[in-house]
Amino acid sequence: MTLQDLVVPTYVQMLGTLSQWLDKAEAQQPDGGAEALLVARLAPDMFPLATQIRFACRQAQEGVFRLSDREFPPSLQVLLDEARNAGDAPGTLADARARIVETLGVVEAAAAGITMDASAPIAHALPNGMVLDLTAGQYARDWALPQFYFHVVTAYSILRAQGVALGKADYVAHMVACFRQPAAS
């Protein structure tokens, strides 16, 4: 399995799933009630839903650019700044969906460029000045995907905590095609 085979379908599937959760939230809380979810948090010291969505998008874009050994475009900083400020300026569900669609386009366009060997070194600098020295494979498996999933799962958890009827089937909707009926006895 290549790094491309690992990260791209994961990002595409789960971003699509995240968008479906927003659709469900809107259907279940009509008349603008779902818009209020964008500022909901699991805990007072955690980022709100609007930030979790943007951070998931940021993680997916950052992952494909880093594994393609490409410079980050300025739009990635814009997305980061938007995410950090989403507590005060959460935007709308339409804005959140637009970020997801935009990210899907970036991921799919960058997918062909992910040719980095899994053993290639990556020095990943963190905002606090620390640096993670990893291989590309470690970066994908141990950093990029877990960071992405953290924000996706937190978004799911916020929606559930706010009363949106989501369940395991909503989380693994992309697996439906893999199910088969049990053999007749």
Q: How far apart are CA 175 and CA 139, in angstroms?
A: 25
CB 170 within 8 A of CB 28: no
According to DSSP, the residues that pair with 11 across neighbouring strands are: none
The confidence score (pLDDT) of residue 105 equals 95
The two structure tokens encoding residue 78: 């814009």
For residue 30, the SS3 value is: coil
The confidence score (pLDDT) of residue 165 equals 95
The confidence score (pLDDT) of residue 57 equals 98
The confidence score (pLDDT) of residue 28 equals 94
The two structure tokens encoding residue 93: 């569900």
Domains of the chain: 3-178 (1.20.120.450)
Which backbone phi and psi does 118 adopt, to 5 degrees?
-60, -20
Q: How far apart are CA 33 and CA 44, in angstroms?
A: 21
According to DSSP, the residues that pair with 122 across neighbouring strands are: 134
One-letter-per-residue 3-state SS of 124-144: EECCCCCEEEEEHHHHHHHHH
Average pLDDT, the chain: 93
pLDDT (tens, 9 = 90+) of the chain, 185 residues, equals: 888 889 999 999 999 999 999 999 999 987 878 889 999 999 999 999 999 999 999 999 999 999 988 889 999 999 999 999 998 999 999 999 999 999 999 999 988 877 788 999 999 998 899 999 999 999 999 999 999 999 999 999 999 999 999 999 999 988 888 888 888 77
Chain segment 126-152, per-residue pLDDT in tens: 889 999 999 999 999 999 999 999 999
One-letter-per-residue 3-state SS of 81-140: HHHHCCCCCCCCHHHHHHHHHHHHHHHHHHHHHCCCCCCCEEEEECCCCCEEEEEHHHHH
